[in-house]
Structure 1
Amino acid sequence: MTLRSVFKSWIDHYFSDEEAVILLVVLVLGFAAVILFGRMLAPFLTALVIAFLLQGPVSWMERRRMPRLLAVFVVFLAFIGVLLALAFILMPLIWNQLVGLVQEAPRMFASGQRLLDDLQERYPNLITPDQMQNWIDVAGREVTQLGQRALTLSLASLGNVLTLIVYLILVPILVLFMLKDRDLLVGFTTSLLPQRRELMTRIWEEMDDQIANYVRGKVIEIIIVGSVAFFTFAYFGLPYTALLAVVVGLSVLVPYIGAAVTTLPVAAVAGFHFGLTDEFVYVLVAYGVLQALDGNVLSPILFSEAVNIHPVSIILAILFFGGIWGFWGVFFAIPLATLIKALVYAWPRGIKQRHLQEAAETPAER
C-alpha cells in the first residue's frame, strides 16, 4: 500500500461526510479570524466572553420565574456596578502601588545587595565574590529593564486612553444586546449551518457546560484567592497589598507555573519590608498555605465536573494558545484543550456511528 493510498483512505474515512468537512471549515475559519483579526475583534470577543459568563445568573433567575428581560437588566446593572468599581476604585489603587513599587525598586536593590554582602561574609566558602558580583550585575540589569518597561508602559498608556474609553462604552453595549437577543443571535448562527449537524451538536453539548463551568469557576477562583491574599497580606502589614493580591489572584490562570512564579515578588517585597525575621517566614508560610488550599481544596470543588487533562497537555496548551492570543489564550487554554480532546474523541466516533446508521437503514427508509 503506497503512501498516497493511505492518505486517500484517511481522507475518505474522516472527510467523506459533509458535516465533517463543514465542521473543519468552521474551525479553521474561526481560528484564522481570531489570529488575523483578533485585535480588531477584541471588543466583540471580550463582550462574548462576558455575556457567556453572565448567562448563568440570567438562566438561574429565569428558572425562578423571573421574566427574561427583567433578569437580563438586573444582571447587566450588577455587571456595570462591578465594572465601575474596578475602573474607579481598584485600578487607581493598583496603579499607584505599581508606581510606588517601581520607585522603591532601587532601595530594594540596595537592600538585596547588603544582604548578599552579609551572606558572603558569613559563608565565604559557599558564596565567592565573583558569584556575588554576577548576581548584583544581573539584578541591576533587571531593575533597569523594569524601570524602562514601566516608563514605556506609562507613555504608551497615554495613547491608549481613547481605546480604553471605547472599550468601556462599546463592550457593555455589546454585552447587553448579546444577553437580550441571545435566542435571536443563536438562531441566526444555527441557520447558517447545515440542518443535519449531529456531530456538531454532540461536540457542542459536550463542551457547553464544561466551558461555562470553567469560565465561571475560574473567575470565582480568582476572586476568592485574590481576596484571601489581600486580607492575609494586610494582616501582616505587607506593603503593596492590593497589587500583590491581584498578582496572586491572576496567577491561578496558569496552573502549576503561576503559583511558583508569583512566589518571587511576594518573597521580594516581604524580604525588603521585614528582612530575614520571623514575620518574613510567617508571610511565606501563609502564602504557601493559601496556594496549597487553592490547589487541593478550592480547585477540586470548583472544577469537579471538568474533563481531566494531563498536566503536560495543560502546560502545552498554555504555551501554545498564550503565545497566539496572550491573556485570553492563557485564560482559555484549558477549554481549548478540552475542545481539541472532544474533537479527537467525537469526530471519528460520530462518523462511525453515522456510517453504521446508514448501513442499517432499509431502502424504504432511505
Structure 2
Amino acid sequence: MFDYLKQWYNRKFSDPDAVTLFLLLLTTFALIILFSDILAPILVALVLAYLLEWPVQRLERTGIPRLSAVGIVFLSFVALNVVLLLFLVPVIWQQSVALVGELPQMFAQVKVLLNRLPEMFPEYISQANINTFIETTTSRALLFGETLLSQSLGRIVGIMALLIYLIIVPLLVFFMLKDKHQLLRHVSRILPSNRRLIAQVSDEMNMQIMNYIRGKAVEVVVVGVFTYLCFAFFELRYAALLAVLVGFSVLIPYIGAAVVTLPVFLVALFQFGWTGMFAWVMVVYLIIQALDGNLLVPLLFSEVVNLNPVYIIAAVLVFGGLWGFWGVFFAIPLASLVKAVITALSTKPEPTELLEDKN
C-alpha cells in the first residue's frame, strides 16, 4: 500500500508545475478559511467586479475607452443600488414585519386544517400522528425563533460593518475595474515561473466564473420579477417579499427551491385556504420552478461545465459548511475548479511545453 502511494505521489507531483499548483491552492484555501472575515470585502468586490466586467468589455468593443466605460458602468450600478435601497428595501422590510406578526395566526390556521385531515382520510392519518407532528413543528419553530433573535441582537456590530462595506466595497470595485490589467500584471509577478498548470486551470475557470456570476445575476432578476408578476396577478399578500425570496433561492441549487416553497405555501394557504385559488398559486409557482430548472438554467449556463446533481449537492454541503453563503454561492464554480484541477493533474504536458518550461 505504501509503495503504491509512493508511486502515485512520484507520478503526480514529480512535475514542478503540479507542486506549484498544489501549493497555490493550499495557500489560497487556508487564507480564506482563516481570514474569511477580514477578506470578505475583497471577495465581495471581486464578485461585483466580475459581474460588471462584462458590460465594460461590451462598451470597449464599441470604441469607448476603458476608463470611460468603467465610469459609465460603475455609475449605472451605483444608481441602480440607490433606487433599490430607496424603493424596494422599504417595501420588503414592511412586508417582512407584517409577515412575522401574522405567523402565529398562520400556524393556528394550519393547525386547524391539519386537524381536519384525520376526518378526511381516517384510514391513512390518525389524530395521534397529527398531534406529534404539530408538537414537533412548534418546538422547532420556537427554537428557530429564539436562535434568530439571539443572532439578531448579537449582530448590531455587524450593521456598522455593513455601513463600512457600503463605502469600501464600491471603491474596491471601481479600482479593480479601472486598474484590471495593472493588477493582473502584479499577480503575474508574484506567481512562480513553473505555472503551466496554473495557467491551464485559470484559463478554464476564468470564463466559467464570469459566466456563472453573470448568469446567476440574470437568473435572480428574471425569476424574481416573473414570480412577482404572477403573485401580483393572484393578489397574493407579501408578493414582493416572496418574489425576492424565490429569486434569491436560485443561488442555492436544488436546496433553495425546496426551502422557499414553505413560506409560499403558508402564505397562500393562510390567504386562500383549501380552495381552487390556492391550487392555482401553487401550480404557477411549481411551473416557475420547472421553467427555471429546465429552460432558464440551460440557456444561461450553457458555457459552464455540466456537473452531476450529486456533485453539486455535495459541493453545496461541503463549501457551504466551510464558507457559509459564499461557499453556497460558489458551489458550482468550486466544484468545477476541483474538476479542472483533477483534469490538469491527469493530463501529461506536450513535449513542446516541456521544452518551453526548460527554456
Letter in 1 for 2:163: I
Letter in 2 for 1:235: F
1:281 alignment counterpart: 279
Contact 1:19 1:194 survives alignment (8 Å): no
Deviations 1:229-274 (A, max 9, x none): 1111111111111221111112212222322222221111100110
Deviations 1:139-184 (A, max 9, x none): 3223423432443354234332211111101100111111111111
- In the alignment, does 2:116 pair up with 1:118? yes
| Equivalent residue for 1:292, pick from 281, 290, 293 | 290
1:315: how far off?
A: 0.8
Contact 1:106 1:143 survives alignment (8 Å): no
Letter in 1 for 2:238: Y
1:113: how far off?
A: 1.6
| Equivalent residue for 1:353, pick from 333, 343, 349 | 349
> Which ranges in structure 1 are unaligned for 5 or more consecutive residues?
none
Within-5 A mapping of 1:239-258: 239-258=237-256
Contact 1:53 1:216 survives alignment (8 Å): yes
Q: What is the CA–CA distance in structure 2 between the aligned matches of 1:264 and 1:108, rounded to whole Å? A: 12
**May I ask how many residue pairs the two structures share in their alignment?**
357
2:186 alignment counterpart: 188
Within-5 A mapping of 1:1-366: 3-349=1-347, 352-354=348-350, 356-357=351-352
Letter in 2 for 1:52: Y
1:208: how far off?
A: 1.2
Which SS does the other structure have where 1:237 is aligned? coil
Q: CA RMSD in A?
A: 1.9
Contact 1:254 1:330 survives alignment (8 Å): yes
Contact 1:314 1:334 survives alignment (8 Å): yes
Q: What is the CA–CA distance in structure 2 between the aligned matches of 1:292 and 1:200, rounded to whole Å? A: 38
1:60: how far off?
A: 0.9
Q: What is the CA–CA distance in structure 2 between the aligned matches of 1:277 and 1:246, rounded to whole Å? A: 25
Which SS does the other structure have where 1:41 is aligned? helix
Among the aligned pairs, what percent are the same residue? 48
Contact 2:53 2:177 survives alignment (8 Å): yes
Q: Aligned in 2, Cα 1:267/1:294: closer, same or farther, shift over 3 Å?
A: same
1:297: how far off?
A: 1.1
TM-score (norm: length of structure 2): 0.94
Q: What is the CA–CA distance in structure 2 between the aligned matches of 1:273 and 1:146, rounded to whole Å? A: 24
Letter in 2 for 1:255: P
Which SS does the other structure have where 2:140 is aligned? helix
1:4: how far off?
A: 3.7
Letter in 2 for 1:69: L
Q: Aligned in 2, Cα 1:161/1:358: closer, same or farther, shift over 3 Å?
A: closer
> Which ranges in structure 2 are unaligned for 5 or more consecutive residues?
none
1:209: how far off?
A: 1.0
Q: What is the CA–CA distance in structure 2 between the aligned matches of 1:121 and 1:199, rounded to whole Å? A: 66
Q: What is the CA–CA distance in structure 2 between the aligned matches of 1:198 and 1:147, rounded to whole Å? A: 52
Q: What is the CA–CA distance in structure 2 between the aligned matches of 1:147 and 1:326, rounded to whole Å? A: 20
Q: What is the CA–CA distance in structure 2 between the aligned matches of 1:186 and 1:11, rounded to whole Å? A: 32
Q: What is the CA–CA distance in structure 1 between the aligned matches of 2:306 and 2:89, rounded to whole Å? A: 35
Deviations 1:314-360 (A, max 9, x none): 111111001111111111000011111111111231xx225x4488x
Q: What is the CA–CA distance in structure 2 between the aligned matches of 1:218 and 1:236, rounded to whole Å? A: 27
Which SS does the other structure have where 2:349 is aligned? helix
1:202: how far off?
A: 1.6
Q: What is the CA–CA distance in structure 2 between the aligned matches of 1:193 and 1:62, rounded to whole Å? A: 29
Contact 2:20 2:194 survives alignment (8 Å): no
Q: What is the CA–CA distance in structure 1 between the aligned matches of 2:112 and 2:256, rounded to whole Å? A: 29
Contact 2:21 2:195 survives alignment (8 Å): no
Q: What is the CA–CA distance in structure 1 between the aligned matches of 2:229 and 2:353, rounded to whole Å? A: 62
Q: What is the CA–CA distance in structure 1 between the aligned matches of 2:216 and 2:36, rounded to whole Å? A: 23
Q: What is the CA–CA distance in structure 2 between the aligned matches of 1:195 and 1:82, rounded to whole Å? A: 43
Which has the higher mean CA deviation after the structures are superposed, 195-204 or 159-168?
Answer: 195-204
Q: What is the CA–CA distance in structure 1 between the aligned matches of 2:152 and 2:198, rounded to whole Å? A: 46
